[in-house]
Structure 1
Amino acid sequence: MTYDRVSAQYDIEKKSLVVAYVLWFFLGYVGAHRFYLGRPLSGFLMFAFSAVVLLLTFVSFGVLGFLWFVVGLWWLIDALLIPGMAAGRNTAIADRVFSRRR
Structure 2
Amino acid sequence: MNIYLENKFLDISDVCTEGISDDARALMLYNSNSKSMGIAYVLWLFLDGLGGHRFYNGNTGSAVAQLLMTIFGWLLLMVAGVGMFLLISVGIWVLVDAFLITGWIRSHNNALVFQLGA
TM-score band, normalised by the shorter chain?
Answer: 0.7 to 0.9
Partner Cα distance (2:61, 2:43) in 1: 17
Which structure has greater strand proportion? Answer: 2
SS of residue paired to 2:58: coil
Partner Cα distance (2:27, 2:95) in 1: 34
Residue 65 of structure 1 deviates from its aligned partner by 4.7
Residue ranges of structure 2 left out of the alignment (5+ in a row): 1-11, 13-21
Which aligned pairs between 1:82-101 and structure 2 lie closer than 5 A?
82-96=101-115, 98=116
Q: Is the 8 A contact 2:43 2:52 kept in 1?
A: yes
* Number of aligned residues: 97
Task: State the identity %.
Answer: 34
Partner Cα distance (1:94, 1:26) in 2: 29
Residue 9 of structure 1 deviates from its aligned partner by 1.2
TM-score normalised by the chain length of structure 2:
0.74
Comparing 19-28 with 41-50, greater Cα deviation is found at: 41-50
Cα distance per residue 1:1-42 (max 9 Å; x no partner): 401111121011100000000000000111010110111111
Q: Which has the higher contact order (CA 8 A, sep 6+)?
A: 1
User: Counterpart in 2 of 1:80?
Assistant: 99
Q: Is the 8 A contact 1:38 1:89 kept in 2?
A: no
Q: Is the 8 A contact 2:73 2:84 kept in 1?
A: no
